[in-house]
Amino acid sequence: MRKAVVVIPTYNERENVIPVVRALLAVFEEVEGWEMEILFVDDTSPDGTFEVVARLAAEQEAVHLLVNEEKAGLGVAYLKGMNHAFGKMGANVVFEFDADLSHDPAKLPAFLAALEAGADLVLGSRYTAGGSIPDDWRLHRKLLSRGGNAFIRLVFARRDGVSDWTTGYRALRREVYESVAPAMATATCSGYTFQIGFLHEALACGFRVAEVPFHFVDRERGESKLTSEYIFNSLIFVARTRFRDLGRWRFFRFSAVGSTGALVQLLALNLWWRFLPYQLAFFLAVETAVVSNFTFNNLWTFSDRPLRTRQLPLKFIQFNAASGASIGLQQMVALVGQFAVGLFPLFSLPLLPFRVSTGHLYAVVGILLGMAWNFFFYNRLVWRPSGLAGSDRSSGSVGRSGDGAGIERSPE
Ligand SMILES: Nc1nc2c(ncn2[C@@H]2O[C@H](COP(=O)(O)OP(=O)(O)OP(=O)(O)O)[C@@H](O)[C@H]2O)c(=O)[nH]1
Ligand SMILES: [Mg+2]
């Protein structure tokens, strides 16, 4: 028989211990084919939650307790709990479950069914058909929860169909824990950040994720531990994680550096212009951007093949030539456009095109051509991989093996 352990992290949940155990044991009666147990992970709660659990554990065979000396956050509690459940307790599956009964225990069998149907990680979702958040939540709380999830989906740009990234009601197989736990740094261990980071990593590993809808109900006893600070931190975490993912892709690094270069040029022009004639200021501004681009490309875009000090002068000249030629190319595109199609010059385009015209599309073509040119020459000439003349190891990929991971929905 396979074993599933419901891990419940607690901090000052004294009054919730008995009701939550009672509710879970009632559901366990109905579960077939699984041995079900409960593991509380308490951070030595000042209200003595662990004492209540310890008394219960002495009476009930299915109830276990793990005590942390210190309060180190939800993520650390879960990682310790999972380690104990999958290790000493021999679990095949672990549930993440809140002590406050916000999570409907009646849904446990649906989670198990989803796992049996092949899912590796099952999410209890409030935002899929059949799920909900409490009607009486204040507008700002609804917006924050929904908006937060929309933000995460937008920033991660994943099409896995995950509708609830922050849910704390989950079930996962041992394999998921073994693959994901090592990547969970202490920085990603507070509240929502742990949940988002864990799911992001599981998807990146290619695990199959399913969702089970449930109605989230507000706690009746005890106090919430998740504050707005947690929410803010997790949004920062999402943006940082996305940037790190994209940063694995060389073309993204190249484009990011190029964009900062444009900004540097604009700022430099503003500066030089105060002291110098326009033509000279313009030339110096371009050169300032070239130096900045060269430096950041060397430090970041091509950090895997940085230039040696004695190579720098020649490479800098090559870099200038490639960049200059790319500007020339763009000018030519603009000229051809002007003469052949009768468009105004590329560089006189307004910065904020409110109306997209053929001219704008033409400008985009010019810019893309210039970028392609630069990327090609930086790759093949300036930062040419040693001993790899001609072969293309250069265009890195995002490296998301989990792109094939889909999501299946379980029926209500
Ligand atoms: N061990 C441990 N448990 C924690 C910690 N922080 C929160 N918990 C528990 O994690 C679960 C979820 O925390 P809640 O405060 O209910 O968070 P929430 O459900 O998002 O917020 P509410 O809707 O306000 O209840 C509860 O069982 C808490 O007792 C912690 O630092 N350590
Ligand atoms: Mg709660």
**Nearest Cα to 73, choosing from 24, 9, 145, 122?**
9
pLDDT at 31: 97
**Nearest Cα to 104, choosing from 41, 188, 20?**
20
The residue whose CB lies within 8 Å of the most ligand 1 atoms, and thus the one to mutate among 40, 43, 225, is 225
Q: Which atom of ligand 1 is nearest to the CA of 13?
A: 29
Residue position matching structure tokens 């371009």: 286
In angstroms, the CA 49 to CA 68 distance is: 12
Residues whose CB is less than 8 angstroms from the CB of residue 385 and which lie 6 or more positions away in sequence, other chains included: 305, 391, 393, 394
- For the packed helices 358-377 and 250-272, what is the interaxial angle rounded to 10 degrees? 110
How many other CB atoms sit within 10 Å of the CB of residue 73?
A: 22
pLDDT at 385: 82
For residue 68, the ligand closest to its alpha carbon is 1
73 Cα to the center of ligand 1, angstroms: 9
222 Cα to the center of ligand 2, angstroms: 9
221 Cα to the center of ligand 2, angstroms: 10
Query: Consecutive 10-residue runs of the chain (412 residues): their mean pLDDT?
Result: 96 97 98 97 97 97 96 93 98 98 97 98 96 92 90 89 94 97 82 92 96 95 79 90 94 94 91 90 92 96 94 95 87 75 52 55 81 93 73 41 44 43
Amino acid at 220: E
Q: Is 225 in the pocket of ligand 1 (CB under 6 A)?
A: yes
Q: Which atom of ligand 1 is nearest to the CA of 43?
A: 1
Q: Is 219 in the pocket of ligand 1 (CB under 6 A)?
A: yes
At CA 168, angle to CA 222 and CA 121, rounded to 5? 155
How many Cα atoms are found within 13 Å in the side-chain-facing hemisphere of 20?
30
Q: Is 174 in the pocket of ligand 1 (CB under 6 A)?
A: no
- Do the Cβ atoms of 102 and 402 come closer than 8 Å? no
Residue 52, SS3 per DSSP: helix
Q: Is 45 in the pocket of ligand 1 (CB under 6 A)?
A: no
pLDDT at 387: 59
- Do the Cβ atoms of 11 and 49 come closer than 8 Å? yes
Residue position matching structure tokens 């939650």: 49
pLDDT at 181: 95
Q: Where are the beta strands (DSSP E) in 97-175?
A: 121-125, 170-173
16 Cα to the center of ligand 2, angstroms: 11
219 Cα to the center of ligand 2, angstroms: 6
Q: Is 99 in the pocket of ligand 1 (CB under 6 A)?
A: yes
In angstroms, the CA 231 to CA 148 distance is: 8
- Displacement of CA 343 from its chain's centroid (Å): 43
In angstroms, the CA 161 to CA 231 distance is: 22
How many other CB atoms sit within 10 Å of the CB of residue 247?
A: 15
- For the packed helices 191-204 and 74-86, what is the interaxial angle rounded to 10 degrees? 50
- Do the Cβ atoms of 40 and 10 come closer than 8 Å? yes
- The alpha helices in 37-97, defined as continuous H runs, are 49-59, 74-86
Q: List the structure tokens of 398.
A: 């995002």
pLDDT at 218: 92
The residue whose CB lies within 8 Å of the most ligand 1 atoms, and thus the one to mutate among 65, 84, 97, 100, is 100
89 Cα to the center of ligand 2, angstroms: 26
